[in-house]
């Protein structure tokens, strides 16, 4: 069963979780001085409107009409009850997922890419630089820039650039320019290439290059697809819609809300609107919020809670988060979008204070869940998304064990149609299980 809403029901304001957090967010620190950064420090990289959102304490922030016009090309996304999966598991649980894979780029990423392109355009910027790992973010940003007539320049982690050319082609189809990172276009890239000419790159290095690009090119800003407060803010349309659609489905609050977690944006998009209802805020009476991460990049489950850089080269402000260290390079798992050493400060704040749980899975168990889902329901999920599916299946089996009718909600953050090589490896016993 799918619960649909007409385009005019797309939320008209973003939900800002800041006033609802268990404790205030700690400020980012300048990488040089170690002092808290202010709006002026960020102005070379971001438009003032986004800097304002990054630091805002307003509970709701209006979505501009021009952004809504584009979001409505695919929003509201369907909320789907996975009845066939429930039947396959023989569980009394009711499993719902929010289908963010229906966007043109195939994931939740355009929710913020469109907003970021809009605010940059509105402030007269003509070009945006960014980085991408496996390519989900780069393709979302290329799409958004094309719609607003902005140039888009993407530093793509070299290993993915060469091994997964289709995301690169997708970006180019939308007019984006893509180079493998490290490149010789930046000092940061050159330094890495001098040390290791054959490196496959990393997300941290690509961020360093994109930030340097924006700082050294006229008319250019930088854009990040996760981690930052304003990015998570833009994703809250997911959870806001889901709440309405659960009501349509005759449900109250879910018992558990699940999302895969790399930088944290898809999880946050679904989960943050439930924070005011959640266990931490209501003495354990509300939904449990759960972050699902890969065992090979266990930021929330095994990282240290401390100030660290967002990138490899140490060019970004330091932020207070769970981190595996900014020089940590995760193994090349197929869920490229979850290979990040840190996590969004908002997510870390919730986990640190016990308002959100975290769990980690090795990729073998994740692909087992992905194939089980595809064979029961039809859609083939992204490897990132399959982390949430793994956890949803385990929650449903726990409900069966307990004989309880639990309501499980997870974010179907993207499809796996550009990840079929990973399925090939799994189905033919060639997946390295880390």
List of residues contacting its own copies (CB under 8 A) = 1-2, 4, 6-7, 72-74, 84, 102-106, 143, 146-147, 165-166, 169-170, 172-175, 371, 374-375, 377-380, 415, 417-418, 420-421, 423-424, 427
Supply the minimum distance, in Å, between the C-beta of residue 168 and its own copies.
8
Supply the minimum distance, in Å, between the C-beta of residue 101 and its own copies.
10
Give the residue with the Cβ less far from its own copies, 162 or 375. Answer: 375
Are 228 and 382 within 8 A, CB to CB?
no
Give the residue with the Cβ less far from its own copies, 118 or 309. Answer: 118
Give CA–CA dist 100/238, Å, rounded: 8
Give the residue with the Cβ less far from its own copies, 242 or 329. Answer: 242
Supply the minimum distance, in Å, between the C-beta of residue 210 and its own copies.
22
Supply the minimum distance, in Å, between the C-beta of residue 415 and its own copies.
8
Supply the minimum distance, in Å, between the C-beta of residue 193 and its own copies.
25
- The 3 state secondary structure assigned to 141-199 is HHHHHHHHCCEEEEEEEHHHHHHCHHHHHHHHHCCCEEEEECCCCCHHHHHHHHHCCCC
With both helix axes pointing from N to C terminus, report the angle between 165-173 and 136-148 in degrees, rounded to the nearest 10. Answer: 10
Give the residue with the Cβ less far from its own copies, 114 or 320. Answer: 114
Supply the minimum distance, in Å, between the C-beta of residue 379 and its own copies.
5
Sign of CA dihedral 116, 118, 123, 129: positive
Q: In 3D, which of 194, 196, 183, 176 has the Cα closest to residue 157?
A: 183
Supply the minimum distance, in Å, between the C-beta of residue 418 and its own copies.
6
Give CA–CA dist 213/85, Å, rounded: 46
Q: What is the separation of C-alpha 279 from the centre of its chain, rounded to a whole number of angstroms?
A: 23
Token code pair at residue 363: 């990729």
Supply the minimum distance, in Å, between the C-beta of residue 385 and its own copies.
14
Q: In 3D, which of 414, 308, 301 has the Cα closest to residue 362?
A: 301
Supply the minimum distance, in Å, between the C-beta of residue 376 and its own copies.
8
Give the residue with the Cβ less far from its own copies, 15 or 74. Answer: 74
Give CA–CA dist 138/285, Å, rounded: 39
By three-state DSSP, how is residue 40 classified? helix
By three-state DSSP, how is residue 290 classified? strand
Supply the minimum distance, in Å, between the C-beta of residue 81 and its own copies.
11
Give the residue with the Cβ less far from its own copies, 83 or 304. Answer: 83
Are 64 and 55 within 8 A, CB to CB?
no
Give the residue with the Cβ less far from its own copies, 179 or 359. Answer: 179
Phi, then psi, of 63 in degrees rounded to 5: -90, 125
Token code pair at residue 314: 């140490």
Supply the minimum distance, in Å, between the C-beta of residue 317 and its own copies.
33
Give CA–CA dist 224/211, Å, rounded: 9
Give the residue with the Cβ less far from its own copies, 223 or 377. Answer: 377
Give the residue with the Cβ less far from its own copies, 67 or 329. Answer: 67
Give CA–CA dist 415/325, Å, rounded: 30
Q: What is the separation of C-alpha 211 from the centre of its chain, rounded to a whole number of angstroms?
A: 19
Token code pair at residue 253: 């609050």
Spell out where 298-362 has E strands.
Answer: 304-309, 318-323, 357-361
Give CA–CA dist 270/344, Å, rounded: 14
Give the residue with the Cβ less far from its own copies, 7 or 24. Answer: 7
């Amino acid at each position: 069963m799918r619960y649909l809403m007409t385009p005019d029901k797309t939320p008209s304001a973003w939900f800002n979780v800041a006033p609802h957090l268990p404790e205030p967010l700690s400020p980012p620190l300048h990488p040089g001085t170690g002092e808290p950064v202010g709006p002026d420090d960020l102005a070379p990289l971001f438009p003032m409107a986004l800097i304002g959102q990054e630091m805002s304490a307003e509970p709701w922030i209006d979505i501009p009409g021009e952004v809504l016009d584009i979001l409505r090309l695919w929003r509201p996304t369907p909320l789907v009850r996975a009845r066939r999966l429930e039947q396959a598991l023989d569980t009394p649980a009711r499993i719902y997922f929010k289908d963010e894979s229906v966007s043109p780029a195939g994931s939740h990423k355009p929710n913020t890419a469109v907003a970021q392109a809009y605010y940059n355009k509105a402030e007269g910027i003509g070009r945006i630089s960014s980085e991408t790992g496996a390519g989900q973010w780069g393709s979302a940003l290329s799409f958004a820039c094309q719609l607003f007539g902005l140039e888009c320049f993407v530093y793509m982690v070299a290993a993915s650039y060469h091994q997964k050319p289709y995301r690169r082609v997708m970006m180019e189809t939308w007019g984006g320019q893509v180079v493998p990172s490290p490149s010789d276009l930046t000092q940061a890239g050159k330094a890495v290439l001098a040390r290791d000419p054959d490196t496959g790159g990393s997300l941290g290095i690509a961020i360093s290059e994109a930030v340097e690009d924006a700082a050294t090119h006229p008319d250019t800003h930088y854009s990040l697809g996760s981690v930052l407060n304003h990015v998570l803010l833009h994703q809250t349309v997911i959870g806001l819609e889901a709440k309405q659609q659960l009501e349509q489905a005759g449900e109250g609050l879910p018992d558990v809300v699940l999302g895969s977690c790399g930088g944290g944006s898809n999880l946050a998009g679904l989960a943050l609107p439930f924070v005011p209802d959640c266990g931490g805020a209501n003495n354990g009476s509300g939904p449990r919020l759960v972050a699902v991460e890969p065992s090979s990049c266990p930021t929330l489950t095994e990282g240290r809670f401390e100030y660290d850089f967002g990138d490899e080269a140490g060019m970004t402000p330091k932020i207070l988060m769970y981190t595996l260290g900014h020089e940590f390079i995760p193994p090349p798992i197929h869920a490229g979008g979850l290979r990040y050493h840190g996590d969004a400060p908002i997510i870390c704040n919730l986990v640190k204070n016990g308002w959100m749980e975290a769990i980690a899975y090795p990729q073998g168990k994740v692909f087992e869940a992905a194939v089980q889902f595809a064979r029961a329901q039809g859609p083939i999920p992204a490897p990132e998304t399959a982390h949430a599916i793994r956890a949803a299946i385990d929650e449903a089996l726990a409900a069966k064990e307990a004989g309880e009718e639990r309501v499980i909600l997870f974010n179907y953050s993207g499809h796996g149609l550009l990840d079929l090589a990973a399925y090939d490896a799994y189905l033919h016993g060639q997946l390295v299980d880390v």
